Amino acid sequence: MALAPDEVERYARHLVLHEVGGPGQNRLKESKVLVVGAGGLGAPLLYYLAAAGIGTIGIVDDDRVSLSNLQRQIIHTTSRIGIAKTASARETIQNINPHVQVVEHGYRMTAENALYLIGGYDIVADGSDNFPTRYLVSDACFFAEKTLITAAVGQFDGQLSTFKPYQSAPDGVPMPTYRCLMGELPPRGLFPACEEAGILGALPGVLGSMQAMEVIKEILGIGESLAGRLLMYDALATRFYETKLSWNPDNPLTGRNASITSLVASNYSDR
């Protein structure tokens, strides 16, 4: 797929990189990425995926833009308060890069539609803000054999990882899942939501941008994948920490006695 003359100019700084070049830029152009959530993490993630030249970006979000979003969800604007976040994000993306095809999924991901949604994309980036959705996205990516890049933020900290549990490590042990990291789905209220606890607005900008970087690396096949590793960021201390993730043989999705064999709504209820 040849790049148009204006694309050659647009991606000039990519094209001179040995690790990208013309073939890599075409891989980005041919790729399809599903972004779950057009909020604090999704905003910078969508910005950089669009600017990088991802060919097709799907956006899953059933929310509308509110004034309280704008402190951190920089893909939206004051003039768009009240409209669907998918429509707002689409307008911004088209202004950034008209070569990107945006597909709006203006509804919530559920156990019934998750595999259908994910099946149309090459890679999934989860920026959702609640545990039931994170568990659902992770499980669906396992069943669909799709790479998942997921991030989460707190008040002043965040974490980022890549999951490929449908693959095995060099020693033959399965790669870890999100359930290996988090265990059972936390009950409602255990971790306060953003509107209750607060969040520093620039924090999701850091994690969302890094999430975009990991998506691009996976598509291009460059650098070292975060699969099997968890990167943590402490914004107040300005420090990054890394820990190794391991397969949990007792996890219900990929463990020795796996009990989750399909997507069932009751598995994603935080009661």
- Confidence (pLDDT) at 191: 61
Q: Does residue 256 carry a pLDDT above 90? A: yes
- Span 71-109, pLDDT tens digits: 999 999 999 999 999 999 999 999 999 999 999 999 999
Q: Is the pLDDT of residue 192 over 80?
A: no
Q: Is the pLDDT confidence value at 1 over 80?
A: no
Residue 3 covered by a domain? no
- Least confident span in 15-19, 168-172, 202-206: 168-172
End-to-end CA distance of the chain: 49
The contacts of residue 177 (CB under 8 Å, 6+ apart) are 138, 139, 142, 163, 165, 247, 251, 253, 254
Q: What is the 3-state secondary structure (H, E, C) of 82-144?
A: CCEHHHHHHHHHHHHCCCCEEEEECCCCCCCCHHHHHHCCCEEEECCCCHHHHHHHHHHHHHH
Average predicted confidence (pLDDT) for the chain: 94
Residue 20 located in a structural domain: no
Residue 18 falls within a domain, yes or no? no
Q: Does the structure show a pLDDT above 60 at 135?
A: yes
Both structure tokens of 249:
């043989």
Contact 56, 67 (CB under 8 A): no
Residue 72: domain span: 25-268
For residue 171, pLDDT over 60 is answered with: yes
Instruction: Give residue 87's pLDDT.
Output: 98
Mean pLDDT over 122-151 rounds to: 96
- In a domain? residue 232: yes
| Number of domains the chain is built from | 1
List CB contacts of 91: < 8 A, sequence separation 6 or more: 80
Q: What is the CATH number of the domain that holds 90?
A: 3.40.50.720
Q: Is position 201 within any domain?
A: yes
Tell me the pLDDT band of 18, cut-offs 50, 70 and 90: very high
